[in-house]
Amino acid sequence: HLRHLGWSSDTLAWHRSYPIAQGNRQSPIDIVSARAVYDPNLKPLVFSYESCASLNISNNGHSVMVEFEDTDDKTAISGGPLENPFRLKQFHFHWGTNRSQGSEHTIDGKPFPCELHLVHWNARKYATFGEAAAAPDGLAVVAVFLEVRIAKIACLYDESIFFFQGTKAQFSSFNPKCLLPLSLDYWTYLGSLTTPPLNESVTWIVLKEPISISEKQLEKFRMLLFTSEEDQRIQMVNNFRPPQPLKGRVVRASFKA
């Protein structure tokens, strides 16, 4: 159903099919750093990604996604605002047509050219990812901003493998720890998925320090298509939702400004 969406215009119309789009804890948001509240009780984040098993990489029609084996707690995140370990399910990216836009979250009104989302679920409390994705404390997503510099992120894929929507390739032995910045200072708030069904099920953990991506790697993202092989080609760009109203939510910071 996302296949032909012109994202920038259609994100505004999602509320017709998904009334929750106008809910009280929608994402992304603009994080106003001066209004974030330092919380000394927030714990450091712990990424247990050592024994992680990546399965495949795909063009799912709205992003590049890498999926992981999630049958046990070996590949998980803990600490931070979370009470339990949350298992890594997948990661994906959002990007723009050029480097002046692309991220979903913004900091003091400033977007980044790209944003990575590492999606985790609460397997201690819920039996399946689907069940967790519908629950208010079911998901934890770590957001990492990417800025254009000499790349930290190596070329993940040959774009010809999955140029079209729905194509998938085997992709094993990738450890996403290499996608994390040195500093794990973060902001956290309660929010939602940023694509339909827009469930308000996400504890967001937005890392303050960006990582680097090269312009060449960003161009590879932009060569992908929203569409499948039979359809008219629509370039996959601007696959981000704009910031949503905060509606009284508090953004907490793990660090002193």
Give catalytic residues, as residue numbers.
62
Tell me the CB-side half-sphere exposure of residue 117, using CA atoms within 13 A: 30
User: From CA 11, how far away is CA 14, in angstroms rounded?
Assistant: 5
Strand extents, DSSP E, the chain: 30-31, 37-38, 45-48, 54-59, 64-68, 76-79, 86-95, 106-107, 114-121, 139-148, 168-170, 186-191, 202-207, 211-213, 252-253
Closest Cα partner for 56 from 66, 70, 41?
66
3-state class (DSSP) for residue 161: helix
Q: Tokens for 70?
A: 């999630």
Residues 6+ apart with CB under 8 A from 193: 27, 133, 139, 199, 201, 202
- What phi and psi, each to the nearest 5 degrees, are found at residue 162? -140, 55
Measured at the CA of 116, the angle between CA 160 and CA 246, to 5 degrees, comes to: 140
